Amino acid sequence: MKLENGPELAMQTIGHGEPVVIPNGVYFVHDLAELADGFQLIAYDPRNRGFSERVMEGERIVGDIHSDVEDLELVRRHLGLERLNLIGHSYMGLVVALYAMTYPEHVRRVVQIGPAQPQAAKFYPADLKFDDGVMAQVFGRMGQMRGEATSTDPVSFCRKMVEVMRVMYVVDPANAHRIDWGRCEAPNELGFMKYWMENLMPSLQKLEITPEMYSKVTCPVLTIHGRKDRNAPYGGALDWFEALPNVQLVSIENAAHAPWVEAPAEVLGAIRNFLATEVAAAPAG
């Protein structure tokens, strides 16, 4: 879809019923396909990701967390929807919350799955973050592999890296094969780490969410978080739960960064029930 005054974004839609917009990427329609029997899942690759447009100014790639929020508003207008149901995972769990702060009148319900913590610099104690050594092992292996980057076909190298990385996202390594987020055939994904380090991460680190901003999220929010999430600390979910005015927290005891993989009935059931519930009308006057 070509957005008016915005980039061209790759989009995929499945299912019928109440529309649900997912800005994480088109692969999410497959991850959440069980919801398609009651909802229309509309997933898109954000700018500079997947098969969407790479936005450039000269030699500089353009995009950050704020442009992702504004692109989401352009998506809403393009789809002709007055209010959005949103699902955001990981970094996009933060983006959908920021969208609800910026455009509260256009949000019906928000689902955050394993969202990034609201304060990037906050340190959490051991009981609110999960460190079993797997992430260190993965990063060590990735460091060893970097020497292969110049001598290996980029797509093949990307696939090898994805194979190594995906064990981080699950508790049981036997479930790692079900993680397929690499999309190494998409040119944008081959350069994602550079975009993350130079654009997205700095915008996260500079982000300051005030109490007034939290208070603007008038819609119901469902936050789902694995207690053994290595990528987004569980303490961040508690921060969202404490700060947002109308939020439910579903904690998945034995799940990591992809809780729908390891607890599908619990996660998808919670999302289905949450999205299907009517939102009470605001009181008059």
54: alpha, beta or left? (left if phi > 0; alpha if psi -120 to 50): beta
Q: How far apart are the C-alpha atoms of 95 and 89, rounded to whole Å?
A: 9
Which H or E run contains 56?
strand 56-57
CATH 3.40.50.1820 for domain 11-129+208-276 = yes
For the segment 24-76, what is each residue's pLDDT rounded down to a tens digit? Answer: 999 999 999 999 999 999 999 999 999 999 999 998 999 999 999 999 999 99
pTM comes to: 0.94
HEC profile for 123-145?
A: CCCHHHCCCCCHHHHHHHHHHHH
For the segment 207-262, what is each residue's pLDDT rounded down to a tens digit? Answer: 999 999 999 999 999 999 999 999 999 999 999 999 999 999 999 999 999 999 99
For the segment 83-116, what is each residue's pLDDT rounded down to a tens digit? Answer: 999 999 999 999 999 999 999 999 999 999 999 9
Q: How far apart are the C-alpha atoms of 200 and 213, rounded to whole Å?
A: 20
Residue whose token pair is 């990427």: 25
**What is the residue extent of each domain of the chain?**
11-129+208-276
Mean pLDDT over 122-146 rounds to 93
